[in-house]
Amino acid sequence: MSTPRLKPSVTDLRAQIDLLALITNEQWLSGLSDRKKRELEFHDRDRNRVAEESLSQDDFEKYYSNKKYYSTVRASTGYTDAWLARHVPGKVFLDFACGNGMQAVKAAQLGAALSIGFDISAVSVQNARADAAAGGLANVVFFQADAENTKLPDHSVDVVLCSGMLHHLDLSYAMPELRRILAPGGRILAVEALAYNPFIKLYRRLTPAMRTDWEKSHILNLDDVAFARRFFNLGELRFWHLTSYAAAFAPRLLGLFDAVDRLLVRVPWVQRMAWIFTFELLAREDS
């Protein structure tokens, strides 16, 4: 007879996270590979709000011009928001590699029992803590961590959002780690760029400063979803934004592009030309 998998209480979990926050910067850096240190340096630069505001127009275009396309992701954002609203209230939520913590803050506002965010970037964690404090939120906590070795307790989180970050990781480490920390009955939503569209692939090659070397060659595809199924059951898989990113240049046409996309994503193989896809991963009883 197997031993029941005990989930730590919110109080115990928060105390363990507080201990993780005491790790010194020297200890933190000594445990990172060169690849991860390069990721850290990239994201510290990318999320430095003060430095971003002082950039020249040319440098802003070099590092951040892709931001205009994220104004067109209304459909996938609405899906993610609805998923969070359905699954987060009363649960322990984790924003896995949280960036500036926007989703963890949102989960706290949705009524999570505890909302957790971590990131490899100290700058990101500082931004997230500042934003949570400004919102007066007490049920959210942020700390610096390695997504391939989070040091969170086993079976400690109920709901996980992986938003635009799995392609920064070695999935052979990240997927077992996600399985380890996910509580029985837990679920994960992954929101990722998709690798197949040749025009988007060309754009990525022409804008190398916006991505790390690892990221450029690890944009996800459906083989990665098949790999994830070794560790989880697969829930809903959906495709988004075959045309809507064109609305970055014609904002008033976003509704039309979204309507076209709703038709195109129903077509097998055509759906693979999507910019973004989402997939749910569900805890297995035998995990």
For 177-226, what is each residue's pLDDT tens digit? 999 999 999 999 999 999 999 999 999 998 988 888 899 899 999 999 99
Give residue 82's pLDDT: 98
Q: Which strands form 114-119's sheet, in the order they lie side by side? A: 140-144, 114-119, 92-95, 157-163, 182-193, 276-282, 233-240
168 pLDDT more than 90: yes
Q: b vs e for 43-65, b when ≥16 Cβ sit within 10 Å of the residue's Cβ?
A: bbebbbeeeeeeeeeeeeeebee
CB 40 within 8 A of CB 188: no
Mean pLDDT of all residues in 41-55: 82
Mean pLDDT, the chain, as a whole number? 92
Q: How far apart are CA 246 and CA 74, in angstroms?
A: 13
For 221-263, what is each residue's pLDDT tens digit? 999 999 999 999 999 999 999 999 999 999 999 999 999 999 9
Q: Which domains does the chain have, with CATH numbers?
A: 10-282 (3.40.50.150)
**Unique residue bearing structure tokens 């805890």:** 283
CB 16 within 8 A of CB 8: yes
Q: How far apart are CA 278 and CA 191, in angstroms?
A: 5
Q: How far apart are CA 181 and CA 150, in angstroms?
A: 9
β-bridge partners, 93 = 115, 159
Closest CA to 237 of 283, 189, 200: 189
**Unique residue bearing structure tokens 């992701």:** 73
Give residue 49's pLDDT: 82
**Cβ-proximal residues to 106 (8 Å cutoff; 6+ apart), any chain:** 81, 84
Q: How far apart are CA 128 and CA 179, in angstroms?
A: 25
Give residue 114's pLDDT: 97
Give residue 193's pLDDT: 97
In this structure, what token pair is assigned to residue 100?
Answer: 């500036």
Give residue 191's pLDDT: 98
Longest alpha-carbon distance in the chain: 64
